Structures are given as structure tokens and as C-alpha cells.
């Protein structure tokens, strides 16, 4: 009996094809595997990404003071840590130049490119004082706006109105 290699190859190829086709047509249950649950699609928007989260150095160009005894209008900077969760914004002041108060909590909102917050001073410096920031995110690393006092200043506290430019980055602080 002669071995016909072409005929044998055809039979083995056909059997291999049937085996592979059977495996591919079986669902996960036939193979003893659990099928995956249906996946829900997730849409990512600017509010999901939290573009304001991180450290921001806020350059403050003072335009007016709440205390008439202050004769100069120096410029300050504040280093903040902000966290965005949806449209909600929270944070704190990490460091500041000159004699600016650092004991403050920040709360606000981010809606589209509008960034707004209130700084509530909580420490011995300006306790009870509040400053309101209203700004626009002009790029992923820059927010521009104004900072103004809210209500009356506590005794022995000088708050200011200012033009503000906030820059995103990884900053060193004490």
C-alpha cells in the first residue's frame, strides 16, 4: 500500500479545520469559562479629567488694599494645592511670599474654562477673612483672573484686590 501524501494532507487539513471551527463557534459556557459582563461606555469630558488638580503658583499684582494705613501695594505670590472632582474645586495655600497669610481653605468650581473659588482664612492671620477669585483657564497651564476681598476685613488684617496669573507646575515649598 502506497502512502499518498497529498490525500493524507487533505484529510488532516480538513480535520484540523473542523477542530478549529468547532472551538471558535463554541461560546464561553461550552468551554467552562464565564462570559464577560456587558461593558458600559464611559465618556470623558473636561470635568472628568480634573485639569485644575495640582500645584499652582499664583502671581498677584495688587491694585488696592482694604487697609488705608498700608502705603505700598506690593506684589505677592501664593503656592496652592488644588484638587478638582467633577466641577467641585478644593485646596489650600502651601506657601506665600512677603507677609501673606497661608492658613486658608479654598473651595470653588470649575465649569468649562471658568475657574472660581473663595479663600477662607482659618489661622491666626486674618481669621474669618475671605477673598474671591474669578478667572479663566487660558491654557492647560495658565489661569488669569482677579482676586477681591469678600465682606469686611477682620481687625489687623489687610486684604487686597489684585490681578492674578496662576501657573501650573511642580513647585518646591518649605
pLDDT, one tens digit per residue, over 145-155 is 999 999 888 88
Residues of the chain with pLDDT under 50: 1, 19-20, 24, 28, 31, 33-34, 36-37, 39-49
pLDDT of residue 66: 81
Task: Name the β-bridge partners of 11.
Answer: none
Query: Alpha-carbon distance 109 to 116, whole Å?
Result: 5
Query: Alpha-carbon distance 142 to 164, whole Å?
Result: 10
Looking at domain 49-168, which CATH architecture does it have? Beta Barrel (2.40)
The answer to whether the predicted template modeling score (pTM) of the entire model surpasses 0.75 is no
Q: Using H for helix, E for strand and C for coil, what is the string for 28-43?
A: CCCCCCCCCCCCCCCC
**Cβ partners under 8 Å of residue 68, min gap 6:** none
Percentage with pLDDT > 70 across the chain: 67
Query: Alpha-carbon distance 92 to 38, whole Å?
Result: 41
Amino acid at each position: 500500500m502506497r502512502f499518498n501524501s497529498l490525500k493524507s494532507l487533505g484529510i488532516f487539513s480538513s480535520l484540523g479545520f473542523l477542530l478549529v471551527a468547532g472551538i471558535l463557534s463554541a461560546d464561553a459556557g461550552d468551554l467552562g469559562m464565564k462570559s464577560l459582563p456587558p461593558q458600559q461606555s464611559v465618556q470623558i469630558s473636561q470635568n472628568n479629567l480634573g485639569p485644575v488638580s495640582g500645584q499652582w503658583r499664583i502671581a498677584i499684582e495688587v491694585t488696592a488694599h482694604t487697609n488705608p494705613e498700608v502705603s505700598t501695594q506690593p506684589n505677592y505670590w501664593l503656592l496652592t494645592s488644588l484638587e478638582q472632582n467633577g466641577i467641585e474645586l478644593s485646596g489650600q495655600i502651601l506657601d506665600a511670599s512677603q507677609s501673606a497669610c497661608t492658613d486658608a481653605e479654598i473651595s470653588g468650581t470649575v465649569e468649562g474654562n471658568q475657574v472660581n473659588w473663595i479663600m477662607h482664612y482659618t489661622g491666626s492671620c486674618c481669621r474669618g477673612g475671605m477673598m474671591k477669585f474669578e478667572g479663566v483657564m487660558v491654557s492647560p497651564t495658565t489661569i488669569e483672573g482677579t482676586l477681591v476681598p469678600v465682606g469686611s476685613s477682620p481687625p489687623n488684617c489687610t486684604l487686597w484686590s489684585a490681578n492674578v496669573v496662576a501657573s501650573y507646575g511642580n513647585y518646591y515649598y518649605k
